[in-house]
Chain A
Amino acid sequence: MRRTIVLGGLVLMFVGLIGWGQEIPREKTLIIATGLQPSTLDIGVGYEAAAINVNLVVYERLVRYRPGTVEVEPELAQSWWVSPDGMVWTFKLHPGIVFHDGTSCDAEAVAFSFQRVMAINLGPAWMFEPIEKVEAVDDLTVQFTLKRPYPEFLQVLANIFGTGIVSPTAVKAHATADDPWAQEWLSTNMVGTGPYKFVEWVKGQHIILRRFEGYWRGWGATKNNIEQVIIRYVMEPSVQRLLLERGDIDIAMDISADDWELLKGRPGIILVEEPSMHATYLRFNCAAGPTADPRVRKAIRAALDYKGMIEYVLRGHAVQMQGPAAIGLPCHNDQLPLPAQDLELARKLLAEAGYPNGGFTLEYVYESGHEDRRRVGELLQASLSELGIELKIIELPWPDLWERVSAADPERTPAIVANGWWPDYADVINFLYPMYHSSQWPPVAFNIGFYKNEKVDELLDKCLVEVDPAIRCELLKEVQALIYEDCPDIDLYHLTSRIALRDWVKGYVYSPIYTEGFFLYDMWLEK
Chain B
Amino acid sequence: MTYLLRRLGYIVLTLWGLTLITFILTRVVPGDPARTAAGPQARQEQIEQVRKMYGLDKPLWIQYGIYMRNLIRGDFGKSLWSKRPVIEDLKAYFIPTMELGLAAGLMFFCLGVPLGILSAVYRNRLLDHFLRFFSLVGVSFPVFILGLVLQLVFYKLLGWFPANGRIDPFIGPPRNITGFYVLDSLLAGNWRSLLSSLHHLFLPAVTLAYGSLAVVSRMTRASLLEVLSQDYVRTARAKGLVERAVLLKHALRNALIPILTITGLQIGSLLGGVVLVEIIFSWPGLGTYAYTAVTVLDVNAIMAITIVTGILYAGINLIVDLLYTVVDPRIRYR
Contacts and interface: CB of A to CB of B under 8 A. Distances in A.
* Chains A and B come from one and the same complex: yes
Contacts of A445: 41
Given A235-B288, A403-B31, A444 B36 contact: no
B284 A45 contact: no
B40 A239 contact: no
Given A238-B148, A434-B41, A399 B163 contact: no
Interface stretch (A91-99, A201-209, A267-275, A492-500): A201-209
Interface stretch (A15-23, A67-75, A257-265, A311-319): A15-23
A239 B41 contact: no
B46 A125 contact: yes
Given A203-B89, A234-B282, A123 B39 contact: yes
Contact of B43 (A14, A126, A184, A206): A126
A204 B284 contact: yes
Contacts of B159: 246
A504 interface: no
Contacts of A205: 165-167, 169, 282, 284
Contact of B81 (A39, A122, A188): A39
Contacts of A283: none
Interface in A160-217: 183-184, 187-188, 200, 202-206, 208
Interface string B139-178: 0000000001001100110010011111111111100000
A243 interface: yes
Contacts of B31: 397-400, 402-403
A233 B282 contact: yes
A40 interface: yes
Contact of B83 (A45, A230, A233): A45
B30 A400 contact: yes
A357 to B, nearest CB: 35
A398 B295 contact: yes
A205 B92 CA distance: 10
B116 interface: no
A503 interface: no
B168 A203 contact: no
A245 interface: yes
A42 interface: yes
Contacts of B289: 204
Contact of B169 (A123, A232, A235, A246): A232
Interface residues of B, number: 61
Give the bracket for the number of chain A residues in contact with chain B. 35 or more
B196 interface: yes
B191 A236 contact: no
Interface in B17-34: 29-33
A151 to B, nearest CB: 19
Contacts of A187: 82-84
Interface in A22-39: 22-24, 26, 29, 31, 39
Contacts of B196: 17-18
A246 B156 contact: yes
A426 B281 CA distance: 37
Per DSSP, are chain B's interface residues mostly helix, strand or loop, or mixed?
loop
A42 B84 CA distance: 11
A241 to B, nearest CB: 10
B156 A245 contact: yes
A231 B283 CA distance: 15
Contacts of A24: 170
B44 A188 contact: no
A18 B155 contact: no
B155 A121 contact: no
B46 A126 contact: yes
A403 B32 CA distance: 7
Contacts of B44: 443-444
A175 to B, nearest CB: 15
Contact of A232 (B35, B165, B280): B165
B303 interface: no
B156 A208 contact: no
Interface string A457-471: 000000000000000
Interface of B: 29-33, 35-36, 38-44, 46, 49-50, 81-85, 89, 92-93, 96, 148, 151-152, 155-156, 159, 162-173, 191-192, 195-196, 199, 279-285, 288-289, 295-297
9 contacts: A14-B199, A42-B83, A47-B39, A126-B43, A204-B284, A204-B285, A206-B169, A246-B156, A398-B296
8 tightest A-B CB contacts, nearest first: A204-B284, A399-B31, A123-B39, A403-B30, A203-B92, A399-B297, A400-B30, A22-B170
Given A402-B36, A444-B44, 17 more contacts: A17-B195, A40-B83, A129-B43, A184-B83, A202-B172, A203-B89, A205-B166, A205-B169, A205-B284, A232-B169, A239-B164, A242-B151, A242-B163, A246-B156, A397-B31, A434-B41, A443-B44
